[in-house]
Amino acid sequence: MIRYPMASLPPSESRAVRRRHHSPPKLLLAIIAIATTIYPSSNNSHYLASAQNLAGKFASRPKIVETSSSNKKRNQKKSDQNGEYTTQWGSFMNSLEGWGSFLFYENGMSWLGSFSWSVVPDSSHDAVRSSGKRKKRWRKENGHVVADSSWKRDLFAAEFYMIVLSIIISAAIAVLSWIWYVGTNLKSQSAKTMQEGEEGAEDIVCENLEQTHSGFFESVAVGFEDITMTLKQKKKKGDGNGNNERLILDGSIRGVAQPGRMLAIMGPSGSGKSTLLHAISGQLKQDKKISLYGKRYVNGVPLTGDSKIPSAFIEQEVNFFPHMTVKETLDFRVELKMGACLKTKKERDDLVNDLMNQLGLTKSANTIVGNAKVRGLSGGERKRLSIACEMISSPPVIFLDEPTSGLDSYQATQVIETLRKLADKGKTVVAVIHQPSQHTFQLFDDLLLISEGKLMYYGERSKVREYMEGLGYGCEAEVGTAEHILDCVSRVVGADAEAERESVNRIETIARAADQHAREWVSFDLDYKDSKNIERKMKHIVDLTATHPGTNLLRQFKLLFGRSIQETLRGKAAIIIKIVQQVSLGLIYGGIYSLGDNQASIMDRFGLLSLIVIGATNMAMAGTIRSFPKEKSIVSVEVASSLYRTFPYFISKALSELPLIGIFNAIFSSLIYPLARLQKGRFKAFLGLTSLHSIASEAVGLLIGSISPSSDVALALFPPIIVLNIIFDGKNISEENTPALLRWVNKVGLIRWGFTGLAVNEFQGLAFNTSGPRRGPVVKTGEEALARFGLEGKSIDDVIGAQTKIIAGCWFLSFLGLALTRQKYEVMQNPPN
Ligand SMILES: Nc1ncnc2c1ncn2[C@@H]1O[C@H](COP(=O)(O)OP(=O)(O)OP(=O)(O)O)[C@@H](O)[C@H]1O
């Protein structure tokens, strides 16, 4: 429905406004009109039509005339009856769509253009589809457009500003899209050029993977020095001397993690261990408050800031899909990561079996991973599974952040013994360890001890006790070394001021000694003549391996779709709960409502349909909002490690939800339909509409989940969104009285469209008798009843169109939300001299 308010202006003013309105964009529009006309594409006529329409909109604006007040009233009434008045918003969206589509098309981003087509409101589409139609409507009024005196001339100015705004927004989006598009292309092109005679992306990844296991990468020593990390703080938290930077790592830290050896990073809580590990491995999450400096070396070759070390990084907390078994989890990852290189199933199975053997997981191969709610692997097994997942491509270096946290001493020892075996095979292992047992501690070769961001010791683990004794900090034989050295470098905080002062002095003494010894302990022989070339080659190899999945998009989709379906079907508790919900709701509604054909049944029908829609929206949206952020935390890690791309994940996720939605709705509909005695012969449409509505509600839930940084934020957004949808469901506030800024909600109102669909389906073709209580005049037909709610002229097609646009829009935005929130990491700068 097009709604278009026209200003009522005296002829002189109207001419002036028309001049103002026409002049500025005319030349531009003429150019666009010509450009779009000669643009050689028949497939994209929609975009051309949009731009041409926009041009035509200005070129053919009809004459505006003042009418007498009685005429105005009559015409306004007629216009209201026909629903023919239009809104500023429709006009704005018309312009935006025209420009947006045109610009996106120009930039080869036709998919973005399609999106603009799918999310803008109906009115703008109608307007775009035929400006001629609009002209006809105006001509109906004796060749004149009837002006409404309530609209002032500044409307035209406002419209013009909106168009300018739309141009700016569209142009900005188009430029950003272009930069993104070109950037991505350049990136993949530059990666490809390093390979000669390449046959396909998958082969390149395989070749690179092979290179990371041989020659230069066969055994890797990771060196680091002068690591400094500062954190900007709010002024209030500064040191009082105007310095609001907190030193987390002070630049004294240096060391080398050697191949075939295990390096433990230890220190009191909050001393900067995790920060150091993340900084060395290049995994420190980007944060505006952070400044990171230092130097890193791979086999003595200095790395530039953003170079990656060919390594695995195992975070403290690793989440998995809880219903997959150990073997399935590894199968899935091996196929994604190595599918192109290990072509046969047997080769992949061998790798999975080998990994399970190495990590001591063979016995648990068929146990589900589990989580806090679903019982599955033990903490230690889960930790070993996360190591196995990272070892699939067999990187030469393994970084681990507190691999023993949350484990009992037996499990902790098992994990460290597993790492020991990997080190014995030549891997370089670096792990942050918190309070290890004596046995676990002894499995490490080297130790890097820090306190308050300062180096306390770097060297062989076995010599640290002797070293501390040399500095005058010995201890009794029965005290374990790990415990003793942590005591030596911990500040005493509490009531005893003397003990605190003493501990501060002790830390200062140990730090000074460590600084003195540091250069003796570690030196970096930079005698690589060709170090620049080596580094460049390494950067290419590692970057390509780290940024390219090992399988093509189709295979990624297949595997992800399979996992999604499997995970949903195995969540039996969730399925049973949902079935119980649907059955009980169907029985409750069906038990209460028994619709007849008297006057009271009209309101009852509207009430029931409204309840069905609100209930379905709540259930579908809340379920997705609750579950998706958890899944997102797993998926974003998998995408960041280039296991697969966001696009196939998203498509598989969206599609895998559909079958269950259909089944749940079928259960509900087949109960409520006969019980509530809804109109015969309309069941199929009822089922289709409720299913479509549930899909749309899930799509909105997906959007909220994907743009929210946490599940708490997502849950907090749920009530206001539901309330907005209920307010704008078409019955609670009239479109005319809706604040201008919120009118768009009417067009995308989930509940409004859901209700409209069910109401049209139910009421069309019904006849009512005149008996029974009623409020207002007698209503004899379903069509009259629909008119009471302003739903005359609405069709099921309108509803399907609107819901489809909502689904497409939400899916697209959710995809963007996921794709654009990819984790970025701090780049290590060279230390300032
Ligand atoms: N991005 C950041 N924003 C705010 N503070 C940070 C950030 N990164 C590190 N810090 C601070 O730096 C200090 C060191 O943190 P880090 O996690 O490295 O310590 P840790 O030695 O690993 O501690 P724990 O053993 O308790 O895990 C902490 O005080 C922490 O609050």
Ligand 1 pocket test, pick from 232, 234, 274, 290 with the greatest ligand atom count within 8 Å of Cβ, gives 274
Backbone angles phi, psi at 672, to 5 degrees: -75, -30
Q: Would you give the DSSP letter of residue 681?
A: T
Across residues 705-732, what is the average pLDDT?
Answer: 85
Q: Is 28 a residue whose pLDDT tops 80?
A: no
Q: Residue whose CA is closest, atom 28 of ligand 1? A: 270
Q: Which residue's CA is minimally distant from atom 29 of ligand 1?
A: 270
* Residue 644 located in a structural domain: yes
In angstroms, what is the span from residue 271 Cα to ligand 1's centroid? 7
> Average pLDDT of 590-596?
89
Distance CA 687, CA 660 (A): 13
pLDDT at 111 over 80: no
Q: If you ran DSSP here, which 8-state letter would residue 217 be given?
A: G
Q: Is 273 a pocket residue for ligand 1 (Cβ < 6 Å)?
A: yes
189, exposed or middle or buried, with CB in 10 Å at 0-12, 13-18, 19+?
Answer: exposed
For tokens 């105006």, what's the residue? 138
- Return the DSSP state at 364: G
- Does residue 716 sit in helix, strand or coil? helix
Structural domain ending residue among the three candidates 140, 163, 186:
186
Cβ of 268 less than 6 Å from ligand 1: no
Alpha-carbon gap, residue 803 to 301, rounded angstroms: 58
How far away, in angstroms, is 284 Cα from ligand 1 center?
11
Estimate to the nearest angstrom the gap between the alpha carbon of 578 and the chain centroid. 26
Answer yes or no: is 124 within a domain: yes
At residue 451, the 3 state secondary structure works out as strand
Confidence (pLDDT) at 151 = 42
Reply yes or no on whether the pLDDT at 683 is more than 50.
yes
Quote the number of domains for the chain: 2
Q: Which of 160, 186, 212 is the last residue of a domain?
A: 186
Look at ligand 1, atom 24, and give the residue with the nearest C-alpha.
269
Whether residue 287 has its Cβ less than 6 Å from ligand 1: yes
CB 511 within 8 A of CB 454: yes
Residue 132: is its pLDDT beyond 60?
A: no
Residue owning the nearest CA to atom 25 of ligand 1? 269
Which of 167, 186, 205 is at the close of a domain? 186
- Within a domain: residue 119? yes
Please work out whether the CB of residue 267 comes within 6 Å of at least one atom of ligand 1: yes
Expressed in angstroms, the distance from the first to the final Cα of the chain is: 68
Q: Which residues contact 776 (CB under 8 A, 6 or more apart)?
A: 788
pLDDT tops 50 at residue 469: yes
pLDDT of residue 316: 84
In a domain, 74, yes or no: yes
Q: Which two tokens stand for residue 14?
A: 């109207």
Alpha-carbon distance values, 463 to 413, 430, 446 (Å) = 22, 18, 9
Q: How far is the CA of 67 from the centre of ligand 1 (A)?
A: 73
3-state secondary structure 141-159: CCCCEECECCCCCHHHHHH
Q: What is the mean pLDDT of residues 472-477?
A: 78
| Lowest mean pLDDT, pick from 8-17, 470-479, 675-684, 744-753 | 8-17
Determine the pLDDT at residue 72: 45
* SS3 call for 291: strand
Quickly state the pLDDT bin for 167 (edges 50, 70, 90): low
> pLDDT confidence of 212, banded at 50, 70, 90?
low
Residue 182 identity: V
Mode of pairing for the β-strands spanning 245-257 and 222-232: antiparallel
Mean pLDDT to the nearest integer, 388-396: 87
Asked whether 282 and 294 are in contact (CB, 8 A), the reply is no
Give just the sign of the alpha carbon dihedral 99, 100, 101, 103.
positive
Q: Give the Å distances, CA to CA, from 85 to 79, 102, 273, 791.
A: 6, 27, 66, 16
Rounded average pLDDT over 139-160 = 49
Q: 148 pLDDT exceeds 70?
A: no
pLDDT digits (tens, 9 = 90+) for 610-635: 999 999 999 888 888 888 888 888 88
Q: Is the predicted pLDDT of residue 422 greater than 80, yes or no? A: yes
Task: Read off the tokens for 533.
Answer: 């070339």
**Confidence class for position 305, pLDDT limits 50, 70, 90:** low
- 630-681 pLDDT, tens digit each: 888 888 888 877 788 888 898 888 888 888 889 999 999 999 999 999 988 8
Residue 490 tokens, joined: 């911990």
Average pLDDT over residues 203-219: 63
Sign of the CA dihedral running 96, 102, 106, 109 = positive
Average pLDDT over residues 291-320: 84
Summarize the confidence of residues 208-236 as an average pLDDT: 76
Tell me what ipTM this predicted complex has. 0.97
With 0-12 / 13-18 / 19 or more C-beta atoms within 10 angstroms meaning exposed / middle / buried, residue 787 is middle
Q: Which two tokens stand for residue 370?
A: 């589990």
Rounded CA-CA distance 111/812 in Å is 10
The answer, yes or no, to whether residue 179 has pLDDT greater than 70, is: no
C-alpha neighbours within 13 Å on the C-beta side of residue 401: 18
Helix pair angle (711-727, 750-763), 10° resolution: 50
Which residue pairs, CB below 8 angstroms and at least 24 apart, start in 139-144?
Answer: 139/62, 141/75, 143/63, 144/62, 144/63, 144/64, 144/65, 144/67
Cα separation, 628 vs 818, whole angstroms = 11
What single letter denotes the amino acid at residue 642?
Answer: S
- Cβ pair 228, 293 in contact under 8 A: yes
3-state SS, residue 357:
helix
Q: Which of 329, 319, 337 lies closest to 570 in space, CA to CA?
A: 329
> Residues near 294 by Cβ (< 8 Å), separated by ≥ 6?
224, 225, 226, 227, 228, 251, 279, 828, 831
The pLDDT-based confidence of 249 (bands split at 50, 70, 90) is: very high
In the reported structure, the alpha carbon of residue 449 is separated from the centroid of ligand 1 by a whole-number distance in angstroms of: 16
Quick one: pLDDT at residue 210? Answer: 62
In this structure, which residue's CA is closest to atom 20 in ligand 1?
A: 270
231 lines ligand 1 (CB under 6 A): yes
Among the residue ranges 142-156, 158-172, 297-311, the one predicted with the least confidence is 142-156
The closest of 307, 306, 298, 318 to 396, measured between CA atoms, is: 298
Largest CA distance in the chain: 107
What's the confidence (pLDDT) of residue 238? 56
Residue type, 523: S
What is the number of the ligand 1 atom nearest to the C-alpha of 271? 21
Whether 468 is in a domain gets the answer no
Report the alpha-carbon distance of residue 398 to residue 400 in Å, rounded.
6
Rounded to an integer, what distance in angstroms lies between the CA atom of residue 446 and that of residue 444?
Answer: 6
Residue 306 has pLDDT above 80, yes or no: no
- Whole-number Å distance between alpha carbons of 135 and 2: 12
User: CA-CA distance, 693 to 800, in Å (whole number)?
Assistant: 9
CA 248 – ligand 1 centroid, Å: 8
Domain that holds residue 107: 11-186
Q: Which residue has the tokens 């669909």?
A: 757
Residue 668 lies in a domain: yes
* Confidence at 330, pLDDT banded by 50, 70, 90: very high
Q: Looking up tokens 């800024």, which residue turns up?
A: 741
Alpha-carbon 26 to chain mean position: 41
Q: How many residues does the chain have?
A: 833
Q: What is the predicted pLDDT for the residue at 49?
A: 40
In a domain, 297, yes or no: no
- pLDDT tens string 59-103: 434 333 333 444 444 444 444 444 333 333 333 333 333 333 333
When mean pLDDT is compared across 453-467, 517-531, 576-590, 594-608, the lowest value belongs to 517-531
Q: Is 460 left (phi over 0), alpha (psi -120 to 50) or beta?
A: beta
Contact 383, 403 (CB under 8 A): yes
**Residue of 377, 293, 395 lying closest to 827 (CA atoms):** 293
Give the Å distance between the CA of 359 and the centre of ligand 1: 30
Percentage of the chain surpassing pLDDT 90?
Answer: 23
> Ligand 1 within 6 A of 248 CB?
yes
DSSP reduced 3-state for 244: coil
**Residue pair 819/648 in contact by the 8 Å Cβ criterion:** no
Cα 133 to Cα 729: distance, rounded to the nearest angstrom: 29
* Of 93 and 438, more confident: 438
Tell which phi-psi region holds residue 400, choosing left (phi > 0), alpha (psi between -120 and 50) or beta: beta
Mean pLDDT of the chain: 75
Specify the ligand 1 atom closest to the Cα of 290.
Answer: 1
Residue 371 resides in a domain: no
H and E: helices and strands count for the chain: 30, 12
Q: What Rg value do the Cα atoms of the chain yield, rounded? A: 34
Residue 100 CA to residue 92 CA, distance in Å, equals 12
> Ligand 1, residues 245, 248, 401: which to mutate, most atoms within 8 A of Cβ?
248
Q: Which residue has the higher pLDDT, 149 or 560?
A: 560
Can you give the pLDDT at residue 174? 67
Above 50 in pLDDT, residue 190? Answer: no
**Ligand 1 atom nearest residue 277's Cα:** 18
Strands 301-303 and 245-257: unpaired
Better-predicted residue by pLDDT, 248 or 344:
248
3-class state of residue 242 by DSSP = coil
CA angle 646–649–652, rounded 5-degree value: 150
> Which of 183-187, 320-324, 385-389, 821-825 is the least confident region?
183-187
pLDDT at position 450 is 94
Tell which wins on pLDDT, 295 or 30: 295
Mutation pick for ligand 1 pocket among 233, 271, 290 (CB with most ligand atoms within 8 Å): 271
- Non-local (6+) Cβ contacts of 79 within 8 A are 85, 146
pLDDT value of residue 833: 66
Contacts (Cβ under 8 Å, ≥6 apart) of 443: 262, 416, 417, 419, 420
What is the Cα–Cα distance from 706 to 627, expressed in whole angstroms? 11
d(Cα 45, Cα 623) in Å, to the nearest integer?
40
Atom of ligand 1 nearest to the CA of 453: 14
Say if ligand 1 is within 6 A of residue 271 CB: yes
